[in-house]
Structure 1
Amino acid sequence: MLQVESVRYLKEENQIIILDQTLLPTKEEYLTISTIESLWEAIVKLQVRGAPAIGIAAAYGAAMAAQKLDVTSYEAFNQEYQAITAYLASSRPTAVNLFWALNRMEQIVKDHSHQSVAQLKVQLIEEADLIKKEDAQMCKQIGEHALTLLEDGQTVLTHCNAGAIATAQYGTALAPIYLAKERGMTLRVYADETRPLLQGARLTTWELMKAGIDVTLITDNMAAMVMQQGKIDAVIVGCDRIAANGDAANKIGTYGVAVLAEKHGIPFYVAGPTSTIDMDTKTGSEIPIEEREAIEITNGFGKQTAPDGVKVYNPAFDVTPHELITAIITEKGVIERPDEAKMRAMFGE
């Protein structure tokens, strides 16, 4: 198992330590976060990224900021705390884990209005710790369920990074890969580079190689060819939000991989914890899609690759319709050929 923590909280110092993922793979460096402003910036800049990791970081950020509130009444504390969570929630719009985690933290404040401010501050740290612990447990269970769909010796294609550094531990899409390694099985991985920010090239290959797992990097536009050549047995991707009908939002390019997988008769799996399930969003068309700055495409990693003034469209995510998804894998189990009825049967209203 990869021994790297993407997010951790130092209780005595009241600081958050995050792995700066923008510096990988050439530098493994950690940022010390002391304010919600610096955390907000780290989330926006993708220094901390991956839907579950963003949720964990936001939970700790809310708890960290709460420790600094110099008020004694519940009313004053609650008012200032609401401003903290609203600010953190404005950092990125697509990954529902961010809002899920902040809502859990807000619920702690609501449910313990009878306690002192000092007690509330302790409760918030404990809840953030619990969110992180639960994420690690959920990811391992996702891996267990995903392994039932794979066979020893198979090769999996993945897109973007849904590994250990995107979560508390194990990852989502990569969880079965790590579990297979622990159990002496062999699962090989092809990783899409994942344009334009190269999360597959920079992050997925880095963490898999660090864990001693066989990984091959390809450019995004090679996926069709490697499928045609029979090199891929299954596709597993993570997700940032799953709608009530099973439509799944993930890093831009995922939808195209799903279309290719269907064309070549390859199962396409989406892995995610229940924190990514959004039963209040009816279909994928209602999922807000983050659009990022043009410079990520025109001047990626500091090198200009497009003419000055060119128009750019840069959505960070796309939505894969549930009809293209062979199964959704969560810690609760596997939903084959997902639709709204199956989603509601497992996750309720």
Structure 2
Amino acid sequence: MPTAAQPAVQPILWCRDHLQLLDQRKLPQAVNYLSCRGAADVASAIHSMAVRGAPAIGIAAAYGLVLALRADVDGYDRAFETLAASRPTAVNLRWALERMGAVWLAGHDLEALEAEAIRIHQEDLEQNRRMAELGAALLPANATVLTHCNTGALATGGHGTALGVIRTGYAMNRIVRVYNTETRPWLQGARLTAWELQQEGIPGQLVADGAAAHLMASERIDWVIVGADRIAANGDTANKIGTYALALAARAHGTRFMVVAPSGTFDLRCPGGGAIPIEQRPAQELTEFKGQAIAPAGYDAFNPVFDVTPAALIDAIVCERGVVMLPTTDKLAALLR
């Protein structure tokens, strides 16, 4: 468990013999926790989106590896691949597993492995707070901002990435209004971000995904602030589907565009956005809602859950190591060196 001051929302609770994950599919109607006792349980929770958000699934996977090896010290390869395959786009997942794997292969020490998972969890919370300060410093006075999907405490080890900037910016009296998209098809913005903003007493207003460009045309939006699931070496950024459209609309309307993500989200082995694998999910997530058909029976759907925003549309990338304005390969390499 993190040792710093606890965030109000705790999606990940480490109980040593099991892992409790806040079931985000049930929010905001109910606050329920899933009890995970092995790698398969954690992988299922990640794949089913009971836990989601790139940093959060990396943390959950780290704890899942601890549970797996406590049950079977010879099961490293199987547990690693089970967890790594649960979602392909977010690089934090494999980053956390590779970091855990290095500790395990160095000494096959379960106590050291658990300590590393706890360290990953704690570091994420500390990184979020640092990124929030750096991102908030970019905001003008009396700013109005727009965010997409959910990037708060629910998606991280606590505080949040993009929503962490908003939380800190509001506390500093730099933000006067927040707009958040509904984020189809899982409605993370409507269900989760709106819930977090309400819990914090931050004035927010929900907009349909398709209304964002009209909003920018009719009202001054100072910054669009989003998270990331993978950032390529050149700054191209994979994030929740709809992010690319927001970046295009922002550029057309003179709105600045900020990406906020910890250093574990950068994949310098990936040269550009074209090399990022994009997760495709079942058609039923679009054609049905809570088990009820909203499209004709048997109708197919194209359902990518991430898209790639080119670096040329990004004004600032913020991570705990600093801020890169107008990102390029050389600038990112220098930041992460």
Q: TM-score, normalization: structure 2? A: 0.96
2:19 aligned with 1:20: no
> Tell me, what secondary structure is at the counterpart of 2:140?
coil
CA distance in 2, matches of 1:301, 1:263: 36
CA distance in 2, matches of 1:62, 1:109: 10
5 Å-filtered alignment, 1:113-132, equals 117=108, 120-132=109-121
Aligned residues: 332
Structure 2 unaligned runs (5+)? 1-5
- Name the CA shift for 1:160/1:142 in 2 (closer, same or farther; >3 Å): same
1:106 to 98, 101, 109: 101
2:138 aligned with 1:143: no
- Please tell me the residue identity of whatever aligns with 2:9: V
5 Å-filtered alignment, 1:164-313, equals 164-313=153-302
- Name the CA shift for 1:150/1:101 in 2 (closer, same or farther; >3 Å): same
Aligned to 2:35: 32
- For the 8 Å contact 2:263–2:319, the answer to whether it is kept is yes
- For the 8 Å contact 2:143–2:174, the answer to whether it is kept is no
CA distance in 1, matches of 2:243, 2:308: 8
- Please tell me the residue identity of whatever aligns with 2:10: E
1:338 to 305, 323, 327: 327
> Tell me, what secondary structure is at the counterpart of 2:162?
coil
Structure 1 residue 109, shift from structure 2 partner: 1.4
Structure having the higher Rg: 1
Q: Alpha-carbon deviations, 1:205-257, whole Å to 9, x = none?
A: 00110111111000001101110112411100000000000000000000000
- Please tell me the residue identity of whatever aligns with 1:305: I
1:52 to 55, 77, 97: 55
Structure 1 residue 185, shift from structure 2 partner: 4.6
- Please tell me the residue identity of whatever aligns with 1:165: L
- Please tell me the residue identity of whatever aligns with 2:85: S
1:41 to 41, 44, 55: 44
Aligned to 1:63: 66
> Tell me, what secondary structure is at the counterpart of 1:170?
coil
Q: TM-score, normalization: structure 1? A: 0.93
> Tell me, what secondary structure is at the counterpart of 1:132?
helix
2:15 to 10, 19, 42: 10
- Please tell me the residue identity of whatever aligns with 1:23: K
Q: Alpha-carbon deviations, 1:87-128, whole Å to 9, x = none?
A: 11010000000000000000001222xxxx5xx111111000
CA distance in 2, matches of 1:246, 1:231: 26
> Tell me, what secondary structure is at the counterpart of 2:82?
helix
- Please tell me the residue identity of whatever aligns with 1:295: Q
Larger displacement relative to structure 2 (214-223 or 79-88)? 79-88
CA distance in 2, matches of 1:130, 1:160: 27
Q: Alpha-carbon deviations, 1:124-150, whole Å to 9, x = none?
A: 110000000000011111101101110
- Name the CA shift for 1:231/1:304 in 2 (closer, same or farther; >3 Å): farther
Structure 1 residue 83, shift from structure 2 partner: 1.7
- When the two chains are superposed, the root-mean-square deviation of aligned CA atoms in Å is 1.3
Structure 1 unaligned runs (5+)? 70-76
- Please tell me the residue identity of whatever aligns with 2:163: L
CA distance in 2, matches of 1:154, 1:68: 51
- For the 8 Å contact 2:139–2:169, the answer to whether it is kept is no
1:316 to 272, 290, 305: 305
Aligned to 1:91: 86
CA distance in 1, matches of 2:249, 2:175: 25
